[in-house]
Each structure stands twice: as C-alpha cells, then as structure tokens.
Amino acid sequence: MDLHLLFVGTGGSAPTARRGLPALLVQRGGEHVLIDCGEGTQRQLMRSSGLVELDLVLLTHLHADHWLGLPGLLKTFDLRERTASLTVAGPEGTASAIAGLLRLAGGVRYPLEVLELAAGDELPRDGWRIHAIEAQHRGPARGYALVEDARPGRFDPERAQALGIADRRDFGRLQRGETVDGVSPEQVMGPPRAGRKLVVSGDTRPCDAIRLAAWQADVLVHEATFTDDQRGRARKTGHSTAAQAAELAASAEVRALALTHLSARHRPTDALAEARTRFPGALLPRDFDLLEIPFPERGAPLHVPGGGRVRPSAAASLDDPEAEGGPDAADADAADGRTPAPSRDAARVRDVR
C-alpha cells in the first residue's frame, strides 16, 4: 500500500513568498488525512494534489497559523455538495473553536464530527491507528503518531511443500490464516513484520513524549522554528531549534527527519546545515515536495522535490514566477540550499539505523 506525505505548507507563524502556513497531507492508499490547516491551505491543495475528499483533519493546536484555513475548506466542501462525513480532531478547545467558526461562516450540510483528543487517545483506522501525543507548546497541543498494523510474516513455500501442501491454491489459504490438511499458518509463516510509523510533532519544545513516540519511526516531521543562536527564544515561545529537532531524531533512531515550520527570521540553508551536524540525513522540504515512505525492506524514504506540484503549461510558467520552471525557480532553489533539478528527480534519504 502506498504511503506518502505532501508538504502543503512548511512555513510558520506568517506565510512568505515561498512557504505557506502549516499543512501536511498524509495519503495512505485511498485515505487522505490533513494535519493542520493554515490560512490558504485549500489553494495550496488546488496547486498540488487537488481538493481531495479528506477523511480526517487533525489539528495540532489552536494557534491561528495552524487552523484559520479550515472555515473556507469546510465551506468549499459544502458548496461541492459533499455527502460523506468528515471528522475534525484536536486538543481540548477544538469543539468550541469549530462551533464558533461555523456560527460566523455558516453551517455545513454534510455530517461533521468534532473530537477532542487527550494525550494517549487513539483513533482506529482501517489497517492503522493514530495516537495523540502530549506536545509542549503554549497551551494545549498534540503531536500525532500514525502507526500501521503489523503485517503477516513471509510465507515459506518450500516449508509448505515439505509438510505435504502440494496444491498452490492452498498457499493462499495458509497466508489468510486457515489451517490446511493439518498444517497451521504458524508452521509456514515467518514472524509478523512491523508496519510503517510516521510521527508529526506539531509546535513543541523538544520533549520526551515526542522522542518516545518517534522511536525508530520511518519518518519524523518535526518543527524547526529557530536556529540555535535563538535557543532561548525557542524555549520561551515553546518551539524547537533545527539542532534540537535533529538531536531528538538521532536519539530516537528515526529513519528520516523532515524539518518544517520554518521562520522567516533565518535562512533555510542555515537551519538545514545546523540540523545536519546532528542528523546527516535531515531534509528541509519546501511546499509541494513529496516524501514517499516504502516498507522498510523496500528501501529508504524517498524525497521528491516538487513532486506534488501541478505541472503548469509553458505560458503559465512565464506568468507565475513561482511555477515550476518559472523565471526565478532557480533562485528559489538556491535560497533553500537546493541544486535545481528536473521535477521528478528524487534524493534518497539516508537510513540512519
């Protein structure tokens, strides 16, 4: 099953010309989960994945830069005559916030469920689950761990044949958990294999709850609002530096680290350089980058710069300087410390286990 992340907005506090406000789209098979919904998120989605039918919106906290895009998104779904239910979940205060915005913006006609999650709460999904984590910010805040169920072990056809299973149609029955001619699945199946794990910190100081949840995660998406020369300000405002995020990732032995929530106070290249002194494989995605997460035995996570962007026509590139291949696309790459590359060029993430 495919699992990938689309970085919809990677800035923090206020948008810049290159980075929108926080939003991360998790796509697993046919499911779509949006984590945070900063101002302008629906337009960012239209420029990338399209306005997909979301199944769930998770809010990390209720500071304005993380959820002011939600009223417009909910109303657009209503204008499109959505009928499927939608769940919005977040920390305490989420229900009253959503009720207030619907009083101002008007209600919606599709079923809308609002949940408030305490640390340790779990949302079960089909084949995976979401755990709420206590983050340390100013006010109630949650990180999220998205964890797939364990997968069956590998089937051993030679062992099955040695035990007298000659009909290959019975191989499938054994793999589905049936006992065939006295042979049980445990006799021919290897140990269960772990599913994938993705952890999103939200806004937080470095904290043990995120570190523990991220233990050997396939991907940790962690905020990096400040560089280390502003560590005091980071602590005071409930944020992390790029170095602190990298230190946490290294101690949790994650496979890949993606830094988000970049402040305009410093150059992205400075944050990335700082992080890579502690975690050499650190990534600093830009808006519309993709991160594909295969099963561990199939390789490392794959970073695809610009992989989620809608491909404009040549004319659109001339009109829009931010479009892929537009006049200052190379300058934008340079500002983020990236060598300009074709749209589907991909950089393998170093496996640090």
pLDDT in the model for residue 176: 87
Q: Are residues 129 and 248 in the same domain?
A: yes
The answer to the question of residue 353 being in a domain is no
Tell me the C-alpha to C-alpha distance, in Å, between residue 138 and each of 14, 145, 148, 223: 17, 20, 30, 14
The answer to the question of residue 239 being in a domain is yes
Q: Are residues 236 and 173 in the same domain?
A: no
Which domain, by its residues, includes 61?
Answer: 3-151+193-348
pLDDT in the model for residue 104: 86
pLDDT in the model for residue 115: 97
User: In this structure, how many other beta carbons lie within 10 angstroms of the beta carbon of residue 268?
Assistant: 22
The answer to the question of residue 118 being in a domain is yes
Phi then psi for residue 300, to 5 deg, are -80, 160
3-state secondary structure 230-262: HHHHHHHHCCCEHHHHHHHHHHCCCCCEEEECE
Check residue 151 and report its DSSP letter. B
Q: Are residues 184 and 211 in the same domain?
A: no
Q: What span, in angstroms and rounded, lies between the C-alpha atoms of 280 and 257?
A: 10
- Residues annotated in the binding site for Zn(2+), as ranges? 61, 63, 65-66, 137, 203, 261
Phi then psi for residue 65, to 5 deg, are -70, -10
Q: Are residues 207 and 264 in the same domain?
A: yes
Q: Are residues 200 and 341 in the same domain?
A: yes
pLDDT in the model for residue 69: 95
Q: What is the CATH number of the domain that holds 132?
A: 3.60.15.10
pLDDT in the model for residue 327: 35
Q: Are residues 184 and 243 in the same domain?
A: no
Q: Are residues 296 and 246 in the same domain?
A: yes
**Contact in structure between 262 and 221 (CB atoms under 8 Å):** no
Active site members: 65
Number of domains present in the structure of the chain: 2
In DSSP terms, 199 is beta-bridged to: 145, 220
The answer to the question of residue 33 being in a domain is yes
Q: Are residues 147 and 161 in the same domain?
A: no
The answer to the question of residue 145 being in a domain is yes
Q: Are residues 41 and 169 in the same domain?
A: no
User: What does the pLDDT profile of the chain (353 residues) look like in tens digits?
Assistant: 999 999 999 999 899 989 999 999 999 999 999 999 999 999 999 999 999 999 999 999 999 999 999 999 999 999 999 999 999 999 999 999 999 988 888 899 999 999 999 999 999 999 999 999 999 999 999 999 999 999 888 888 989 889 998 888 889 988 888 999 999 998 998 888 889 999 999 999 999 999 999 999 999 999 999 999 999 999 999 999 999 999 999 999 999 999 999 998 888 999 999 999 999 999 999 999 999 999 988 999 999 999 998 755 433 333 343 443 333 344 444 445 444 433 333 444 543 32
- Residues annotated in the binding site, as ranges? 61, 63, 65-66, 137, 203, 261
**Contact in structure between 156 and 163 (CB atoms under 8 Å):** no
The pTM assigned to this predicted structure is: 0.84
Q: Are residues 70 and 210 in the same domain?
A: yes
Strands 257-260 and 290-292: unpaired
Q: Are residues 85 and 111 in the same domain?
A: yes
pLDDT in the model for residue 311: 58
Q: Are residues 304 and 205 in the same domain?
A: yes
**Contact in structure between 258 and 274 (CB atoms under 8 Å):** no
pLDDT in the model for residue 343: 36
